Structures are given as C-alpha cells and as structure tokens.
Structure 1
Amino acid sequence: MVHLTTRYEAAIVPLNASKIGSEAYGHASFTIDGDTLTIKIDMHGTPANTQHWEHFHGFPDGKQALIATELQDANGDGFVDLPETEPVSGTTMVPFDDAPENMDIPHDRYPVADQQGGFSYEKKVPLATLKQNFKDAFGDDDLKLDKRVIYIHGVPDSLNLPASVAGAVASYDAHTTLPIATGQIVAVD
C-alpha cells in the first residue's frame, strides 16, 4: 500500500503587534501521511507565560480564506479583533490543542508560551476522526488546508483592552481570543 504524503506550510506573521507590545511570528507545517495529520507549530515573540489558542480558520463553502491585516479594523479602535477577521478569514474550524480531532474549541488545553515568549507544538492527529467531526460541523470532510489560514490568539489579562475589542467565546474574554499572529496555509510541492 502506497501512502501519498501531502504537505502544507504557513509563515506566521504578527497581527496587533503595535498594541500588544510583542511581535509574534513563527512557522507551521501540516503533513498528511496515510491516516495521520502531523501538525507542527513553532512560535516566537508571543506574550510570555500566556496560553495561546491556535486554530485554522476558513469558509465552510471552501472559498479562499485570507489573513487579516490592519485594514480589517472596522471600528477603528486600533485592534483587529476576532469578529473583524471573519469577513476575510472565515470562522474558527480546527483547534491546535491536545486533541484537534475532537474539534473542541473553548478550553484551557492550548500551548502556553515560556518566559521568552516562545512555544513549540506538535501533534499527530487521526485523520479519519478529524474528517468525520469536520464533516459533522461543516458538511464536508475535505479539510481544504490550502484554502485556510492559521491564527494564534491570546494576550495577558493585564493588557488594557478597550471595551470595543470583541471576541468573547463561552466564559473566555477578548484577552483569550485576540489574534496576535496569522499565516496563509499553502500547499508545498
């Protein structure tokens, strides 16, 4: 049996850097080999000692998602918050947490940056389980990684955010959901 290996990558660039006091950047790779998706994410310059939610976002209809820039700051408060990313990036789809295949988004099982503001994440994900849960959520089991973008979220609770910064999810406030970095996922030959 021959396994077809498919690879995707994303260069992760800062978002909201001038407002959060750090420039988060990094690299992500996604490798599909047989029934396993291996996700690797290395981040630098993130707010230190802070949990960072990370996901891929996209449109359920498969439309090309794009990364948000300062141009998405619709209310002019100087921050691009989670709702402001949706018109160009779509919705939150798959989390990069302790079990991405479960597609359980709001919880405290995401990476925490070290005191230098870095973290590395690596997970081997059972593709069949992820695809079934993805289909249940979005009506199609094709992850279409080359149509998605990655977001890294999270700033310390001590950061003063204006009331106009939205993005509360369940019992988590905008400090948890504020995007700090993003990257376009592209197929690698």
Structure 2
Amino acid sequence: MAKQYQAKITSLNGDKIGTQPTGEATFTVDGDTLTVEITMDHTSPNTQHWMHFHGFPDGRDAKPATSAQDTNHDGYVDLPETEPVSGTTMVPFNDRPEKMAIPTDTYPTSDANGHFHYKKEVPLKEMSDKFKEVFNDSDLHLEKRVIYIHGVPDSMDLPDTIQGAVGKYDQHTTLPIATGKIEEVR
C-alpha cells in the first residue's frame, strides 16, 4: 500500500513581501516511485520559486520557521535563520529532484496571478542512493521534514541584512516565502 505525506503550506515573510502565499504539498511513496505534487497560490507573480524539503541529517524533527527566528531583527526570516529549527536544505523540487542539485534554473515559475502547480514522479532508488551519499542515510524520513517555497522578484527592494546567497543566486531567489510541516497521512 502506498504511503502518503502532506504539508499545508503557509506564508512566511508575507507581511514584508506584500502577498500571503498558501498551498499544499503531497508526497506519495508507491513502490519505487515518489510522486511529489505542490500547488501554490498568492506567490509573487511571474517569479521562479525554488522549493525544497529541509531537515536535520541526524534525524531530529524539523519545524517550520516563524517570525521568532528573525535573530537579526530586520523584519525578515532569511534562509540561514531557518536552520536552527528546520535544518539544512536537502532535496530540491525542480526538474530532477533525484540529482539533488540545488542551484538550478529548473524550478517552477508562477503565473501572472501568483499560481503554480508542480508534479513530478521521482525514481525513489536513485533519490535514496543520492540522499545516502550526501546525508549518510538512505531513508528520506519525510515525516521529520519541512517544505520551503522561496523567491521574490528581482525588482523587490530587500535590505542588505538578508543572507542566503547561493553562488550566482542572491537573496531574491533564496528568501523563504512559505513553509509547512510534512506529516504522514496514511
């Protein structure tokens, strides 16, 4: 029987970015396939949105960040500020999650209304092998992870205090805009 996990995704930094992103993610493990489906509304329009699950390699239970994680008090919860409660970025939801290549330009882009839908069937063995190579554990432990949606338009004025640049990608790409706890539902 297939195992299913779900996350209700709610806004993070919405008061600062001018929109309150919401959505839902489902993860279905059926045999050697992980089907990931994510639907988001009210994101920044016409913007590519990086999406990942975050967690702790040592197996601790990850929690979604809240405004309480804004340790530098600039009004934003940036990527490094999520790490104490959510852990590290683990698996991307781009064109090839099983490759675990985080910085790519293959994430979904929202439409003019801030909506997008992502669905991907992922070869579970390939992902588990790569996960074991990177995190020394082949079990994804979805029930101990949180999902993050990132990204605001390059034109948005952000303070220099926001951290989280990854290579050529600046804080506009990595700013968390929504998060949710992944829970087993069956």
Q: Which residue of 1 aligns with 2:109?
A: 112
State the AA in 1 paired with 2:80. P
* Secondary structure, aligned partner of 1:137: helix
**Structure 2 SS opposite 1:65:** coil
The alignment of Structure 1 onto Structure 2 pairs a total of residues equal to 186
Q: Offset of 1:68 from its aligned partner? A: 0.2
One-letter amino acid of the structure 1 residue matched with residue 21 of structure 2 = A
Equivalent position of 1:70 in the other structure: 67
Following the alignment from structure 1 to structure 2, what is the Cα–Cα distance between the partners of residues 21 and 172?
Answer: 22
Deviations 1:90-138 (A, max 9, x none): 0000000001000000010000000000000000000000000000000
* Structure 1, unpaired ranges of 5+: none
1:53 partnered with 2:50: yes
| Structure 2 runs not aligned, ≥5 long | none
State the 1:170 CA deviation: 1.1
1:168 aligns with 165
Following TM superposition, where does structure 1 have runs of at least 4 consecutive aligned residues deviating by more than 3 angstroms? Answer: none
Give TM-score scaled by structure 1 length.
0.98
Identity of aligned residues (%): 61
Q: Distance in 2 between matches of 1:25 and 1:165?
A: 22
1:16 shift after superposition: 0.1
* TM-score in terms of structure 2 length: 0.99
- The residue aligned with 1:40 is 37
Partner letter of residue 31 of structure 1? Answer: T
Query: In the alignment, which of 93, 98, 104 is matched to residue 95 of structure 2?
Result: 98
Give the AA of the match of 1:117: G
Which secondary structure does the structure 2 equivalent of 1:133 belong to? Answer: helix
Q: 2:129 aligns to what SS in structure 1?
A: helix
* Partner-residue secondary structure (3-state), 2:34: strand
Distance between the aligned counterparts of 1:99 and 1:106, measured in 2? 12
- Pairing 1:112-151 to 2, within 5 Å after superposition: 112-151=109-148
Q: Which residue of 1 aligns with 2:150?
A: 153
